[in-house]
Structures are given as structure tokens and as C-alpha cells.
């Protein structure tokens, strides 16, 4: 894709995103997106089929960006570094993740993130994707981690990312009960 075409696509995505921050996707029209972006309808359709296609493009970009964080985590022996990678990913792209995951549109992104992180988690925890118990444990952990990171971001990250990583590690390894009184200071 030429740089001009990439700029046009980026501008359309940004116009959509500004609208999406203000209203649910079912209220966003192609007309509203193109008016905000400054393009005509045919230009929009050169890049996207509809507004849902724009959201899918954003989701796919977010999922692909996780590779950078996963690769960094895979350079370490510690299985908990995957949790650090997810936390740092939230710090980097929290506004996007939080907004998409907050609505009914978030189910697709949650599924994509779980699928994308699965190989790294299964490798680090030495789990088997063929073992139903391992798969269910993975689903539980990922749902909890995504939900916790979303709540952390939405609350303006009231604890540091280091404290969040420590808390996630403890909850995954020791369970939730020890965290009920709050995270420790170490």
C-alpha cells in the first residue's frame, strides 16, 4: 500500500475512532465517518466494507501489536513475564482496549486476544491444548487477566504497572483470596 493510501486508511480509522469514543458502533454511519475524515463515500469503500470492517481492522491491528510484547516475554524464562507483557500492552494501548472491550463489540476482541496469547501461555505453563482441563484453566486465567487489566486501566491505573504485574502473578499462582486485603508493598 502506498504511503498516500496508508494515510487515507489511517485518517478513516481515526475519524471512525473519534466517533466510536462517543457512541456505540450501531449509531455510527459511513456518512459520519467520511464527513469527519474529509473523504467521499467511494474512498471509504475502497478501504472498508462498512463501519464494522473498520472496527475489525482496529482489532486486528491491536492483536498483531501483541506480538511485540509476546516476543519480549518469550526472551525470559519466567512464565509470569507473559502477564507483564499483557500489562505493558494495556499501558500502551489501554484506551483502545478499554473502549472496545467495554461494549458488546468486545467479545470478538477478547476471543482474538485469547487465541493470540494462547501459544505463549501454553508453552510457558507447559500446558497441553489437547487437555480439556488445561484449556479451561487457560480460559479462566485469560478472562480474569483481561477483566482485571481493563478495570485497572479504567480506574486510571491506581497502582503502578509493576504493582499490577506482581498482583496478577500472585493471583494466578496463589489464587485471589490472598489479594482481597490488597496488594503487598513489595
Residue 69 sits in the same domain as residue 91? yes
Q: Which of 68, 62, 121, 116 is nearest to 94 (CA)?
A: 62
pLDDT given at position 10 = 97
The answer to the question of residue 185 being in a domain is no
Total-model pTM: 0.84
Q: Cell 503487598 maps to which residue?
A: 184
What's the confidence (pLDDT) of residue 50?
Answer: 98
> Are 108 and 57 part of one and the same domain?
yes
- pLDDT at residue 141, as a whole number: 93
Using DSSP, state whether 12 is helix, strand or coil.
helix
Residues 40 and 70 in one domain: no
Cα(76)–Cα(63) distance, integer angstroms = 21
Specify if 184 maps to a domain: no
Within a 13 Å sphere around the CA of 128, how many CA atoms are in the beta-carbon half?
4
Statement to judge: residues 147 and 66 lie in one domain: yes
**Which pLDDT belongs to residue 121?**
86
- pLDDT score recorded for residue 150: 94
User: What are the cell numbers at 20?
Assistant: 466510536
Query: Which residues neighbour 140 within 8 Å (Cβ) at sequence distance 6 or greater?
Result: none
Largest CA distance in the chain: 57
Report, as ranges of residue numbers, the positions in the chain whose pLDDT lies below 70. Answer: 73-74, 76-80, 182-186
Amino acid at each position: 500500500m502506498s504511503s498516500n493510501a496508508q494515510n487515507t486508511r489511517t485518517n478513516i480509522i481515526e475519524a471512525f475512532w473519534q466517533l466510536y469514543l462517543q457512541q456505540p458502533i450501531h449509531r455510527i454511519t459511513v456518512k459520519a465517518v467520511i464527513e469527519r475524515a474529509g473523504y467521499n463515500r467511494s474512498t471509504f469503500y475502497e478501504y472498508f466494507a462498512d463501519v464494522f470492517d473498520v472496527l475489525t481492522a482496529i482489532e486486528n491491528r491491536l492483536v498483531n501489536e501483541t506480538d511485540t510484547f509476546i516476543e519480549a516475554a518469550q526472551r525470559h524464562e519466567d512464565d509470569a513475564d507473559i502477564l507483564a507483557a499483557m500489562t505493558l500492552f494495556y499501558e500502551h494501548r489501554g484506551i483502545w482496549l478499554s473502549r472496545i472491550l467495554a461494549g458488546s463489540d468486545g467479545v470478538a476482541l477478547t476471543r482474538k486476544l485469547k487465541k493470540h496469547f494462547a501459544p505463549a501461555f501454553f508453552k510457558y505453563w507447559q500446558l497441553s491444548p489437547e487437555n480439556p482441563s488445561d484449556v479451561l484453566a487457560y480460559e479462566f486465567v485469560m478472562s480474569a487477566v483481561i477483566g482485571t487489566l481493563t478495570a485497572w486501566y479504567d480506574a486510571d491505573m491506581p497502582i503502578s504497572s509493576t504493582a499490577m504485574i506482581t498482583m496478577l502473578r500472585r493471583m494466578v499462582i496463589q489464587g485471589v483470596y490472598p489479594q482481597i486485603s490488597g496488594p503487598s508493598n513489595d
